[in-house]
Amino acid sequence: GENVEQHPSTLSVQEGDSAVIKCTYSDSASNYFPWYKQELGKGPQLIIDIRSNVGEKKDQRIAVTLNKTAKHFSLHITETQPEDSAVYFCAAIGGQLTFGSGTQLTVLP
């Protein structure tokens, strides 16, 4: 089955700086990669996704890149704000959705 590894497990950045979270996956058949943001006490919310036929996707301050050859994908958040503080999960879908272990992002004011 699919195995998704996510790094780092915790990340602290100063407000205004960029944050990068990286994930690797094992199943070369995986073709869809969503990212979720989970605020404290709430369910994860989809924030951006990328399909295997695309190398990069942007939505305002967030972007995701995908390297199919290396089987890794990354989330980039620019100009971070305190409200970006949350746990972020990557995921990969080959047959079933497999989640990474999560990254606790803290944006320091």
Partner 1 sequence: SQTIHQWPATLVQPVGSPLSLECTVEGTSNPNLYWYRQAAGRGLQLLFYSVGIGQISSEVPQNLSASRPQDRQFILSSKKLLLSDSGFYLCAWDATGGTSETQYFGPGTRLLVL
Between CA 83 and CA 90 the distance in angstroms is 19
87 touches partner 1 by CB under 8 A: yes
Contact between 95 and 85 (Cβ < 8 Å): no
Nearest to partner 1 of 80, 88 (CB atom): 88
Q: How far is the CB of 43 from partner 1 (least distance, A)?
A: 4
Contact between 89 and 6 (Cβ < 8 Å): yes
Which of 24, 36, 84, 107 touches partner 1 (CB under 8 A)? 36
Contact between 86 and 102 (Cβ < 8 Å): no
Under the rule (CB under 8 A), what is the footprint of partner 1?
9, 31-32, 34, 36, 40-46, 49, 51, 87, 89, 91, 93, 97, 99, 101-102, 104
